[in-house]
Amino acid sequence: MSPGTARSPVHRIISALSGAVQALGLGVPPLFVEKWGVAVHQALSSRAREFHTHQHVLDLIVSADPIETVAALYHDVVYVQVDLGVPPHYEAILEPLVSREKDGWRILPHAGVDPTAKLVLDVFGLAPGQVLTAASGLNELASALVAAKELEGVFSHEQQLAMAACIEATIPFRPQERLQLDARLAALGVGEGLRVEMVRRAVRLANNDVGNFAESNPARFLDNTWKLLPETNPSLHTPNTYTVNEYRVALLKMEGFLSSLPAERVFREQLGEPALEVHRARVEATARNIALAVRYMRCKLYSTAVLEALSVESGGDAPIDLFMGGLGDASGERMRRIEQFLPPPRPRPGTTEAVLQGLLEAGRLNASAFDLSPSPLASFLHLALGEAAMMEGLVLAREWWAGRSTARAFLEAQPAATTAAIARAGAHITDTRRELLEGLAERLERRTGG
């Protein structure tokens, strides 16, 4: 039997680090590199991660230079809101430098006197005493501190600056006026030629880090967006137990984020990196992807609102599996699902758009660990009602979620035929609520003579 050629992520990470340190002429013993690589792999292998994994960083180093490679491998090793803290094997490095507090993590005084840590702080434009959160660069700072301390005595001062600059640049979605890396490096005495090289490398890594926003295939963009949901919503870590309400809250957070994100803040263009026409094409593609993703999210939100209201009115919030049916298991046996009991929708001419319907019906490119790829309820409602009617319903759902209405009022304001059809389909899935859901369907239909 001939040996395989593919290598596991831990081997690929160690190999990439080995190649980088050799290319830089650092002469690091192999077991040191192995120790660093194993620690990086452990940090990126947290079960809570779906997007910020070892595969993500391995994708970033395909055409990277040695400094960029090391920075890419380390830039996500700390992700406190996903891992619910610092990876245990990096705690000893970070304990003297940052401390968890009620409202974030404080930079400790020792970080201002430790030469390596202070170098990182200077590149980030930070100082001891400041409190950071995940939204203000905490993960990137902590990851850069880990990388710099791990490579202390191995990387030169110049190499440490370049690596820290790369990781600083990966703080995402900042307005142009807050991108001050070039000025900070100049203040640290970095000459113009070297500074241009450092900034361009950093911009390249930062843009590659968010490269999925410019995907030509919207289904692939949604794939990556969906992977972020469980990373910011711990309730989704257990696919068979999260409730309808928890799923809706996760969708609402992501929809709120994407709908308020200007496409111009996703990619960077500085000192000729990238070429201006490349940057403009990326921004245009990002704007298209965000707009479509928001529409998709809102259709999902409306269908989830109908399901949540039915759950509230039939006995209260419960696991989404209770109403939708199972996602499947290792046996491969076909699960009983709510969509199997929905009537064929009657499409309303001119009310649906093919690309959006395709994403709802056929699904994203891949199923996630916590959700199906297709959206059967949203697809059914999109065909039966059209996007405009669904968005009118979503306005009323937001009133209910804000406490200005009720689940019952929301249900009674929706088209009776589709809402009752979902209630009846749910009755086939949820034995304990069958009579209540059938009764809800009958009441909804009577209100409109359905």
Pairing of strands 104-107, 98-101: antiparallel
- Give me the residue label for tokens 């999260």: 242
**CA 69 – CA 166 distance, rounded (Å):** 10
The predicted-structure confidence for 352-389, as pLDDT tens digits, reads as follows: 778 888 888 876 656 555 555 678 999 999 999 999 99
**CA 294 – CA 428 distance, rounded (Å):** 31
Q: Are 433 and 427 a contacting pair, CB within 8 Å? A: yes
Residue 369 has what pLDDT? 54
pTM for this prediction: 0.90
74-78, 317-321, 345-349, 435-439, range with the lowest pLDDT: 345-349
Q: Are 123 and 165 a contacting pair, CB within 8 Å? A: yes
Q: Are 90 and 39 a contacting pair, CB within 8 Å? A: yes
The predicted-structure confidence for 423-441, as pLDDT tens digits, reads as follows: 999 999 999 999 999 999 9
Percentage of residues in the chain having pLDDT higher than 90: 73
pLDDT over 90 (residue 121)? yes
CB neighbour list of residue 287: distance below 8 Å, 6 or more residues apart? 263
Q: The tokens of 219 are what?
A: 């289904």
Higher-scoring residue by pLDDT: 368, 326: 326
Q: Which residues pair with 104 in a beta bridge?
A: 101
Preceding amide of 274 cis, omega within 30: yes
**CA 163 – CA 66 distance, rounded (Å):** 10
From residue 64, alpha-carbon distances to 22, 46, 57, 166, 205 in Å are 14, 25, 11, 12, 8
pLDDT over 80 (residue 239)? no
Residue 21 has what pLDDT? 95
| Packing angle, helices 416-429 and 434-447, rounded to 10 | 170
Q: Mean pLDDT throughout 324-337?
A: 70
CB atoms within 10 A of CB 340: 13
Residue 220 has what pLDDT? 84
Residue 222 has what pLDDT? 84
Name the average pLDDT for the chain.
Answer: 90
- Give me the residue label for tokens 């620690």: 39
Q: Are 44 and 54 a contacting pair, CB within 8 Å? A: yes
The predicted-structure confidence for 250-269, as pLDDT tens digits, reads as follows: 889 989 989 999 999 999 99
**CA 254 – CA 150 distance, rounded (Å):** 35
The predicted-structure confidence for 40-83, as pLDDT tens digits, reads as follows: 999 999 877 777 788 889 999 999 999 999 999 999 999 998 88
